[in-house]
Amino acid sequence: MTSSAYARGLATLTYDGTVLDVWYPAPKLDEPVTAAGTERLETTPQQFAALAGPDETRGVARVPVATRISDLGQAPVDAYDVYLRLHLLSHRLVKPGEVNLEGAREHLANVVWTNYGPCAMKDFQMIRGQLAGGAPVTVFSVDKFPRLLDYVVPDEVTVVDSGRVRLGAYLAPGTVVGADAFIDYGAGSLSAVTVNERVCFGETVG
């Protein structure tokens, strides 16, 4: 397990620097990596141009970043690193057990996941009032891990309830995730199966 990984992404940061999430639309394996870590991109990639910038209402900024991991066999070092590993799994570039996720939870903030995007828990009631503007704010969950389908939509899968699958789940082509199922990060299906039970971290079916 010595593969390297690289991706450009868009991070949602609070004004005190807390990472709420990172979206990596096209992660890559086995890219030449001389120094691991994350840096802010001085030039905004075209696919992020319309999305980057401050969101005063939520008290966040969306910032283009580039993250490099020199060895996926080593434990993640920060939230950017964790999010890249979760994307690698959900993009089917690695399978559960092929990437080290030791201590992943400790690097992530607890986030209020809403239909307006991720929000910090601090002062959320004030943020809710500012967001609403007469329309309801839907809170999908309060969790460290977001829903898979908000970041990656794998080809040839069926997910009956998007809240049942976390980002970082590996869903093989042909997988059907039923309404009573739950698939955690670092877990998933390895063949075309129907999942109707809990598949917890480190577990696979099929």
Q: Is residue 135 within 8 Å of residue 128, measured between CB atoms?
A: no
The answer to whether position 55 is within a domain reads yes
- 10-residue stretch averages of pLDDT, the chain, 206 residues long: 88 96 96 84 89 94 96 96 98 97 98 96 90 83 98 97 97 97 98 97 96
Residue at a domain's end among 77, 107, 137: 107
Nearest residue to 26 via CA among 43, 48, 44: 48
76 & 154 share domain: no
CA distance 76 to 83: 9
d(CA 169, CA 159) in angstroms, rounded, equals 12
* pLDDT value at residue 134: 64
Distance CA 130, CA 138 (A): 13
Query: What pLDDT is recorded for position 21?
Result: 98
Q: Is residue 102 part of a domain?
A: yes
Q: What is the rounded distance in angstroms from the CA atom of residue 178 to the CA atom of residue 197?
A: 8
Q: Let me know whether 17 and 98 are in one domain.
A: yes
Separation of alpha carbons 114 and 130, rounded Å: 13
| Residue length of the chain | 206
Whichever domain contains 101, its CATH number is 3.30.70.2010
| Residue 13 maps to a domain | yes
- Number of folded domains that form the chain: 2
The last residue of one of the domains, among 75, 107, 139, is 107
- The answer to the question of residue 130 being in a domain is no
Same structural domain, 100 and 174: no
User: CA-CA distance, 68 to 5, in Å (whole number)?
Assistant: 6
**Which domain range does residue 92 map to?**
5-107
**Residue 127: inside a domain:** no
In a domain, 87, yes or no: yes
Residue 133 within any structural domain of the chain? no
Same structural domain for residues 84 and 162? no
DSSP strand pairing (111-114 vs 139-143): antiparallel
Distances (CA, A) of 134 to 112, 117, 129: 20, 18, 9
- 30 and 88 part of one domain: yes
